[in-house]
Amino acid sequence: MFLQGNRPSGNAIVTVALTFLTSSQAILIVWSKRAGKYEYSVTTANFLVETLKCALSLAALARIWKSEGVTEDNRLSTTLDEVIVYPIPALLYLVKNLLQYYIFAYVDAPGYQILKNLNIISTGVLYSIILKKKLSDIQWAAFILLCAGCTTAQLNSRSDHVLQTSLPGWIMAIVMALLSGFAGVYTEAIIKKRPSRNINVQNFWLYISGMAFNAIAILIQDFDAVMNKGFFHGYSIITTLMILNHALSGIAVSMVMKYADNIVKVYSTSVAMLLTAVVSVFLFGFNLTLAFFLGATVVSVSVYLHSAGKLQR
């Protein structure tokens, strides 16, 4: 049902699904680190995620073909004109993931978590420029607050180090934010260009490109490790759960792009970050900081202002 949700009411369902999947994703990552199992190669896992998404899209399509028959909108075969743009987001993500290995020469891991919030601003700016959708002034204010609030919620005693980031570090962080924002906005543009086209077909072509570029990433980064230790070295039950979760979140992101937009995606992943922290209190005995409460307050007000800003236009 989830993969066939073509009605606008699917909007709310996919948003909630994305929020839920994103928070459980973060919790699985913490769990896998706690269990000391983090030795699998990330590129092979990413490849399997793309493969699983492809398989799920095909399975959904098979059901649709059975019940509705093959139509112009749900047939898999396509034109070069339609399919030529699909590899672009996958290429952008590949470049971003490769850069990620180099940015750690300039910032530490907590600093990188802080800088990743630049994604929020870059997504907003590119969304309004490329998709030519206007945000109201109140909504822009809400977007700045979302970025400030998420960053505040993640503050810890070592966060101030990020202010000492050198210029090349800042440039890389901004380039990565722009790549990630552009990939998201471009995916939305591709998917929305043909509104009547079945989302599972669009996903299939997106994920086939993802498989191809992740195969390249394996060759670049982990060829030796895979050759020596094998493709599935270090895999555990948690790894499998993470791959399943990533695949489902990936499909949820596509659904949000089709039936909502990148702004909804940014809000639901931000709210997911807060939910994760609260759930971690119960699961892992984490403590919530004053900074977290303040950040969560600012994010909540931002969510309110985003919708209030819409109504008053």
Chain positions contacting a second copy, by CB under 8 A? 114, 137-138, 141, 144-145, 148-149, 151-152, 155, 157, 159-160, 162-163, 289-291, 294-295, 297-298, 301, 304-305, 308, 312
Question: What is the per-residue burial (b if ≥16 Cβ within 10 Å, else e) of 210-227?
Answer: bbebbbebbeebbeebbe
To a second copy, the closest distance from the beta carbon of 282 in angstroms equals 17
* C-beta closer to a second copy: residue 142 or 256: 142
- What three-state secondary structure class fits 108? coil
Q: To the nearest whole angstrom, how small is the minimum distance from the Cβ of residue 67 to a second copy? A: 46
| CB within 8 Å of 129: residues ≥ 6 apart | none
- Shortest approach of a second copy to residue 137 CB, angstroms? 6
User: What is the nearest approach in angstroms of a second copy to the Cβ of residue 263?
Assistant: 17
Nearer to a second copy, 110 or 234 (CB): 110
Between 134 and 193, name the residue whose CB sits nearer to a second copy.
134
**C-beta separation of 93 from 151 below 8 A:** no
Give the residue with the Cβ less far from a second copy, 240 or 312: 312
Closest CA to 259 of 178, 179, 298, 202: 202
CA–CA distance, 187 with 283 (Å, rounded to integer)? 35
Shortest Cβ 200–a second copy spacing (Å): 40
- Nearer to a second copy by C-beta: 80 or 290? 290
The helices-and-strands tally (H runs, E runs) of the chain is: 13, 0
CB 213, CB 155: distance < 8 Å: no
